[in-house]
Amino acid sequence: MNRKFKIVALFVAACFLALAGSAMAATEQKVAQAMHGGQQYLRDKQELAGSWFDDEQWNRESATAFAVAALLETGVPASDPAIIKGIQYMVANAGWNGTYTILGGGGNYNHSSTLIALSLWALASNPAPITMTNIIRSARDFTVANQYLADNTYKGSWDYNGYGSGDTSNTQFAVMGLWYANRYLGESSSVTDTAWAQNLLTYLTAIHYITDVANNYGVFRYYPGSNSFIGGPMTAAGLWSLAMIGQDQDPMALRAEEWFAAPGTYTWAVTPGPYYNGGTGSYYYFMFGMAKALQATVGHQNTLGTPARPWAQDFINEVVDNKAIWTPASSMPDEITRVHWGDGYRSLDGGDILSTAWMLMSLAFIDPSVEKKDALLPDPPDADFPIRGLLTLSVKGNATISRAARRKIGPEKSAQTVTLPIGATEFIINKVPVGGTTILYIKVPDEALNPNNANSFIDANGNLKPGLNWFKIRNGAWKGQANIPIIIDRASKEIQVTLRDGGPEDDDGLANGKITDPGAPGFGVDGDVAADGDQTHSSSGLCFISSIFSL
Domain boundary among 374, 409, 432: 374
- Amino acid 58: pLDDT: 77
CATH assignment at residue 22: 1.50.10.20
Q: Are 83 and 357 in contact (CB under 8 A)?
A: no
Domain boundary among 374, 408, 439: 374
Q: Is 132 left (phi over 0), alpha (psi -120 to 50) or beta?
A: alpha
Q: What is residue 486's three-state secondary structure? A: strand
Spatial separation of the C-alpha atoms in residues 29 and 384, rounded to whole Å: 34
List all residues 6 or more positions away from 169 whose beta carbon is below 8 Å from its beta carbon.
Answer: 222, 233, 234, 237, 348
Residues 418, 352, single domain; the answer is: no
Q: Are 470 and 505 in contact (CB under 8 A)?
A: yes
Residue 521 bridge partners (DSSP):
470
- Amino acid 238: pLDDT: 98
Residues 344, 487, single domain; the answer is: no
Tell whether 71 is covered by a domain.
yes
* Amino acid sitting at position 334: D
Tell whether 141 is covered by a domain.
yes
Closest to 405 in 3D by CA, of 430, 428, 389 = 428
Spatial separation of the C-alpha atoms in residues 287 and 316, rounded to whole Å: 11
Q: Are 514 and 508 in contact (CB under 8 A)?
A: yes
Residues 358, 431, single domain; the answer is: no
What tens-digit pLDDT sequence spans the chain (551 residues)? 445 434 444 333 333 333 333 334 337 899 999 999 999 999 999 999 999 999 887 789 999 999 999 999 999 999 999 999 999 999 999 999 888 999 987 799 999 999 999 999 999 998 899 999 999 999 999 999 999 999 999 999 999 988 789 999 999 999 999 999 999 999 999 999 999 999 999 999 999 987 665 567 899 999 998 888 899 999 999 999 999 999 999 999 999 999 999 999 999 999 999 999 999 889 999 999 999 999 999 999 999 998 899 999 999 999 999 899 999 888 888 889 999 998 766 657 778 999 999 999 999 999 999 999 999 999 988 899 999 999 999 999 999 999 999 988 887 765 567 899 999 999 999 999 999 999 999 999 999 999 999 999 999 999 999 999 999 887 888 888 778 999 999 999 999 999 999 998 899 999 999 999 889 999 986 544 333 334 333 333 323 222 222 22
Residue 443 bridge partners (DSSP):
392, 494
Residue ranges making up the domain that contains 472: 391-549
Residues 169, 81, single domain; the answer is: yes
List all residues 6 or more positions away from 1 whose beta carbon is below 8 Å from its beta carbon.
Answer: 251, 254
Residues 360, 397, single domain; the answer is: no
Q: What is the 3-state secondary structure (H, E, C) of 517-540?
A: CCEEEEEECCCCCCCCCCEEECCC
Count the domains in the chain. 2
Tell whether 382 is covered by a domain.
no
Residues 435, 314, single domain; the answer is: no
Residue 393 bridge partners (DSSP):
375, 442
Tell whether 400 is covered by a domain.
yes
